[in-house]
Structure 1
Amino acid sequence: MYLHSVKPNFEGNRIVNIKKFQQHVMDITTHTALCDSARAKAAKGENVVSLHSEKQHGFYFILTIICCGCGEKFNIDNSDKIGNENIQEINLRCVWGNMVTGGGCSSLNESMGTMGIPGINERTYSKIEGQIGKLWNDVLQDEMKQAGEEEKRIAIENDEYFQGVPAIAVVCDGGWSKRSHKHTYNAMGGVGVIFGLKTKKLLHIGIRNKLCYICSRAATKNQEPVKHECFKNWEQSSQSMESDIILEGFRECEKKYGLRYMQMIADGDSSVYATIIKNIPIWGQR
């Protein structure tokens, strides 16, 4: 984590952690109470401590305060690190909150700027955004695993099997990033989901993207794209995105959860049903 020094004019506002700030105040107060030179200055009505310098990394800061009596320095910071990640909690919380409301780096800095709080640079924001994405994915995978175990338990309790494998009913649906109006299936992205009917919990989710902004921008400039995590994973029609995602879930269910999806509730999309009949042997072709 790179901390950069800022001009020591100490203007504006900062976000602080109350408990950490309280501890810092106690440490400084204890020192000045025991420092003869500091007490002498206090008796004369002079400053006992003064702000010396500040270093920042996004919304994280280290403020150095110096004792005007003996010159001893104290560092005040406003956040702890998260787990083993080289990331400060304050930065993670600010970026996380901005992501869930649909904002980006510029919108976060604009909001903070109106409150007089120094912002975060694009590079740091993107790095934290990627780390948050991995955290979200870990939680999602764990919750889907638990949902699969619960559906399996219920199927066993109800003696619902197919060829000796616990069998369940699922609810499937999908959507696109652009309304189709039943004829303009040209969306750049689509999503599909599978829920367990009994638990009403998510068992599978998939996303298909026909566009990567970084790759596309590089192509228009006839350049090689910079190193990045590319989310483009689909070359076929937009209309077939949902079918492919649902098929993926059906293919993985036995290996992933020890289940077979033997009943499907959907919105009447015949292409999804036809895809399953064609590609899942226990449903159709053998």
Structure 2
Amino acid sequence: MPFLKDGEIRRRAGRSKEILEMNNNKLNTTLPDENEEMVIDTEESTDGITWKDGRRIVELFSLAKALNSCQNVNCTAQLNLLNVEKEKLQGFGSYLTIRCLNCNMLNNILTNKTHYGTKGPAIFDINTKAAIGMIEAGIGPRQLNKFVTALGIPGATAKTLKKREREIQKPLSEIAKTSCVNALQEEIEKTREQLNVETTNGTDIPKLTAKYDMCWQKRGSGRSYSSHSGVGSVIGQNTGKVLNFKVCSDHCRICLKASQLGKEPENHECQKNWNKSPKAMEAHTGAELLKILEDIGEHK
């Protein structure tokens, strides 16, 4: 399924703008005339969306602290959102340029908290959390942007969300592995209780009963299997928790592109670890997972 293109995001954001304007006219919620003189004309961004259009995802406390005082050390005046001159969208976060009416200084205000990666500029926390939510819900950038644009929130590009996916890939993998180790220990303890097996210094490990299955990211027809990746998992009988898992993939976009260009691929975390048929993934992955569990048991 293709990602939502930037042009489509702008079109939907424009539609959200029209709906918002109709609602404002209907509910008569526009600013009174006496306040209009406080509003400085807003410079439109390249995609035609201004800070007045639609809705934004904002961390209220962070924004309130930033607006509490001008960034000029010699000025303590509070800033007003009505004095926004420019907005720069970065995914679901925004950089607001607000003029201080006391000292006339332009202040750069962030709508959300940020963090830093290994290199590059600051990253909005909301973009990383959006990638986590996207994975948790089992959707992609296209579906996520459909949802937020329906709410009148400007969407994020597929490139931005993909970067954040790569950012959280390693931490999520480490958390999943830790969870499996804890689940395995819990399965061992419950099996001991069930079989009334006593342990000496925690070294006697009973035989465990588990179930294994594999799923693919593309449905097979029963005769044809062409999925590029699959996930195998071992589930404990007593706990019902995943004791171990493995992802098999026969595709890497970076390696494929380099091969097509006749070049060596750049340094990257290659996910390709399989070069046989997708149907053979299940038996191979199951055998490997059981071998790993046996090795863990020997070192317990």
Q: Please name the residue that 1:21 is paired with.
A: 63
* Aligned ranges 1:251-262 → 2 under 5 Å: 251-258=291-298
SS in 2 for 1:167: coil
1:68 pairs, out of 101, 105, 118, with 101
Q: Please name the residue that 2:53 is paired with.
A: 12
Per the TM alignment, residue 165 of structure 1 is displaced from its structure 2 partner at its CA by: 3.7
Alignment partners' CA distance in 1, 2:154 and 2:106: 24
Residue 24 and residue 121 in structure 1: after superposition, are their counterparts in 2 closer, same or farther (change >3 A)? same
SS in 1 for 2:271: coil
Q: Please name the residue that 2:133 is paired with.
A: 97
SS in 2 for 1:175: strand
Per the TM alignment, residue 75 of structure 1 is displaced from its structure 2 partner at its CA by: 3.9
The total of aligned residue pairs comes to: 241
Partner amino acid for 1:96?
I
TM-score by length of 2: 0.64
Per the TM alignment, residue 149 of structure 1 is displaced from its structure 2 partner at its CA by: 1.1
Q: Which has the larger radius of gyration?
A: 1
TM-score by length of 1: 0.67
Residue 160 and residue 253 in structure 1: after superposition, are their counterparts in 2 closer, same or farther (change >3 A)? farther
**Which has the larger displacement, 10-19 or 77-86?**
77-86
**Which has the larger displacement, 188-197 or 119-128?**
119-128
Q: Please name the residue that 2:219 is paired with.
A: 178
Residue 187 and residue 57 in structure 1: after superposition, are their counterparts in 2 closer, same or farther (change >3 A)? closer
Per the TM alignment, residue 219 of structure 1 is displaced from its structure 2 partner at its CA by: 3.8
* Aligned ranges 1:118-137 → 2 under 5 Å: 118-137=154-173
Partner amino acid for 2:53?
G
Partner amino acid for 2:219?
K
SS in 1 for 2:130: helix
Alignment partners' CA distance in 1, 2:116 and 2:241: 29
Partner amino acid for 1:15?
I
Per the TM alignment, residue 144 of structure 1 is displaced from its structure 2 partner at its CA by: 0.6
2:246 pairs, out of 182, 198, 206, with 206
Per the TM alignment, residue 249 of structure 1 is displaced from its structure 2 partner at its CA by: 1.6
Residue 149 and residue 103 in structure 1: after superposition, are their counterparts in 2 closer, same or farther (change >3 A)? closer
Q: Please name the residue that 1:159 is paired with.
A: 197
Q: Please name the residue that 1:51 is paired with.
A: 84
Q: Please name the residue that 1:246 is paired with.
A: 286
SS in 2 for 1:239: helix
SS in 2 for 1:229: coil
Residue 146 and residue 80 in structure 1: after superposition, are their counterparts in 2 closer, same or farther (change >3 A)? same
Residue 245 and residue 74 in structure 1: after superposition, are their counterparts in 2 closer, same or farther (change >3 A)? same
Give the structure with the higher percent strand.
Answer: 1
Per the TM alignment, residue 73 of structure 1 is displaced from its structure 2 partner at its CA by: 4.6
**Which has the larger displacement, 223-232 or 242-251?**
223-232
Partner amino acid for 2:96?
L
Alignment partners' CA distance in 2, 1:48 and 1:63: 9
Partner amino acid for 1:231?
Q
Residue 11 and residue 49 in structure 1: after superposition, are their counterparts in 2 closer, same or farther (change >3 A)? closer
Question: Quick check: 1:144–1:203 contact (8 Å CA) kept in 2?
Answer: yes
SS in 1 for 2:209: strand
> Structure 2 regions of 5+ residues with no counterpart?
1-43
**Which has the larger displacement, 110-119 or 231-240?**
110-119
Two-structure CA RMSD over aligned residues (Å): 3.8
Q: Please name the residue that 2:233 is paired with.
A: 193
SS in 1 for 2:278: coil
Alignment partners' CA distance in 1, 2:116 and 2:129: 14
Per the TM alignment, residue 228 of structure 1 is displaced from its structure 2 partner at its CA by: 3.9
Per the TM alignment, residue 194 of structure 1 is displaced from its structure 2 partner at its CA by: 0.7
Partner amino acid for 2:124?
Q
Question: Quick check: 1:192–1:206 contact (8 Å CA) kept in 2?
Answer: yes
Partner amino acid for 1:81?
T
Per the TM alignment, residue 129 of structure 1 is displaced from its structure 2 partner at its CA by: 0.6
Question: Quick check: 1:175–1:191 contact (8 Å CA) kept in 2?
Answer: yes
Alignment partners' CA distance in 2, 1:160 and 1:242: 35
